[in-house]
Amino acid sequence: MIEVVGLKKRFKLTKDHKIDKHEDIDPRQDSDYFNSVRDVSFHCEKGEVLGLLGPNGAGKTTTLRMLSTALLPDNGKIHINGVDVVKSPLLARKKIGFLSGSTGLYGRLTAKENIEYFGRLHGMNKKTLKNRTEELFEILDMNSFVHKRAEHLSTGMKQKTNIARAVVHSPEVVVLDEPTTGLDIMTTQTVIKFIQDLKAQGTPVIFSTHHLDEIDLLCERVSVINEGLSCFNGTLAEFKETGKSQVLNQAFLNILQEQSHV
């Protein structure tokens, strides 16, 4: 399982980003810092899929980057199956499969070479790596383009390659930042099926998305972040109840509106 408690992260403002005291400002911003994540908590158990929701700029990606060890929290705890991610980041990285929208492929390497390179970084031996890549190529329907250079791949091909690269070492937890953004229907369905397979294998999956239909299809649990704060954590049924609607889009908007009145 993965457990996140009281995460906080702020960034020092440059002179150009400091605001005049008479301006209306984001509640996360003070004179010297932007508090991107002010207090975020959630958990995801074995075999669960947690949908992470929030408006653009809410702090979702910053939160996921802290989970991946790419950013160090200013405060809070992250545990993956008993491992303290903050205190033992190298050990934690072995347990995490992380897909970020900002992580590019090496353009002059083929899809296969990109994935194999990351497998070797994780210390996988030749036989294990061969078996694992062949398995992923089949699951993600990649065999038609594995020998193409990444710079010549379509958006969907690149995303499949990114996903395979993120999970080549069979991680204990998978974290996906908007994995279906910009994909066509067929590629999106392949990605959704892959997440369902991870779930069936007992792997906890956390993924951020703006597509509420994916939440309804995949998730047991939902966490909503707004302005750097957790404003909902619970089951999908509790999400609908708290949001006072069986329509997920409306439930989401109602939860955000409720928070704005607190």
pLDDT single digits (tens) 52-82: 999 999 999 999 999 999 999 999 999 999 9
CB atoms under 10 Å from CB of 42, counted, come to 22
Between 185-200 and 155-167, two packed helices, what is the crossing angle to 10 degrees? Answer: 10
2-103+172-260: which CATH architecture? 3-Layer(aba) Sandwich (3.40)
The overall pTM is greater than 0.95: no
Task: Flag residues of the chain having pLDDT under 70.
Answer: 16-24, 102-103, 261-262
pLDDT of residue 259: 79
Q: What is the pLDDT of residue 261?
A: 61
Q: pLDDT tens, 130-153? A: 999 999 999 999 999 999 999 999
Q: Which residue has the tokens 């970020």?
A: 100
Which residues are CB-neighbours of 262 under 8 A, at least 6 positions away?
Answer: none
CA angle 78, 79, 82 (to 5 degrees): 165
Residue 233 token pair: 């954590």
Annotated domain spans of the chain? 2-103+172-260
The answer to whether 31 and 38 are in contact (CB under 8 A) is: no
pLDDT of residue 262: 57
| Cβ proximity of 214 and 192 under 8 Å | yes
pLDDT at 162: 95
